[in-house]
């Protein structure tokens, strides 16, 4: 069942892309799918794929999965997913993107959170594939204070601009959770059940978004 639903999601993403999608601009982020929450809790469900992780946005430790969405920007509305990925909660977002999708992204501007920042890696991708990763500016370890102070205003302006562009991906996750309550998977009792819960609710949301 979970495999059939996953194929349905891929079909919806591939064949029902809205005409107003900006194919040159993508937004990316992740959200937790929670089977249980709490710093000292140990998950007992779907342990083949679910692990313990930390969500900085919610300041919360949890057990479960991460749902990653790479989405096309759409002017004035929530973005449309180009790719939906699942990973264990403990996996780093940048690691998942590098492993699952980065090589397929050609001639693209991607707006993301700081966790996706890797100057060397994305510098090479820009030369090889024309792909530019834009994130808020991370503090540079060991940088001279005088340089930090001199660059502060420019970096803050750039970071604010990037955050404004990427905000709709957060709106997409909020919309997805409001429509389906996808984050709450506390009643799931098996690995297949967790996959059906997650991909089934994504499919329902996509059908609502498309039609």
Span 96-125, pLDDT tens digits: 999 999 999 999 999 999 999 999 999 999
pLDDT at 1 (0 to 100): 75
- Alpha helices per DSSP H over 56-141: 93-100, 119-129
Q: How many CB atoms lie under 10 A from the CB of residue 12?
A: 20
pLDDT at 113 (0 to 100): 95
At 2, the pLDDT band (50, 70, 90 cuts) reads confident
Tell me what the pLDDT averaged over the chain comes to: 94
Topology of domain 2-210, CATH: Nucleotidyltransferase; domain 5 (3.30.420)
Residue 101 makes CB contacts below 8 A (sequence gap 6+) with 70, 83, 85
Q: Which of 2, 5, 4, 33 is nearest to 173 (CA)?
A: 33
pLDDT at 165 (0 to 100): 97
pLDDT over 80 (residue 42): no
Is residue 112 within 8 Å of 27, Cβ to Cβ? yes
Calculate mean pLDDT across residues 51-77: 94
pLDDT over 90 (residue 41): no
Alpha carbon 151 to its chain centroid, in Å, reads 29
Q: Which of 21, 63, 58 is nearest to 40 (CA)?
A: 63
pLDDT over 80 (residue 33): yes
Calculate mean pLDDT across residues 5-15: 93
At 58, the pLDDT band (50, 70, 90 cuts) reads confident
Distance in angstroms (rounded) separating the CA atoms of residues 68 and 81: 10
């Amino acid at each position: 069942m979970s495999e059939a639903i996953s194929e349905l999601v891929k079909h919806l993403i591939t064949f029902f892309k809205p005409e107003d999608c900006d194919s040159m601009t993508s937004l990316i982020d992740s959200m937790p799918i929670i089977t249980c929450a709490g710093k000292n809790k140990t998950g007992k469900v779907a342990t083949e794929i679910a692990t313990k992780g930390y969500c900085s946005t919610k300041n919360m430790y949890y057990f479960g999965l991460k749902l990653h969405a790479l989405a096309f920007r759409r002017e004035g509305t929530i973005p449309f997913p180009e790719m939906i990925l699942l990973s264990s909660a403990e996996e780093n977002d940048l690691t998942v993107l590098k492993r699952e999708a980065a090589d397929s992204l050609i001639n693209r501007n991607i707006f993301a959170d700081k966790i996706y920042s890797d100057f060397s890696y994305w510098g090479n991708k820009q030369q090889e594939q024309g792909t530019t990763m834009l994130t808020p500016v991370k503090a540079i370890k060991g940088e001279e204070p005088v340089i930090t102070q001199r660059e502060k205003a420019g970096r803050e302006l750039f970071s604010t601009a990037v955050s404004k562009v990427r905000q709709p991906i957060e709106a997409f996750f909020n919309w997805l959770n409001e429509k389906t309550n996808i984050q709450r998977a506390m009643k799931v009792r098996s690995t297949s059940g967790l996959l059906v819960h997650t991909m089934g609710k994504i499919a329902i949301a996509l059908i609502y978004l498309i039609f």
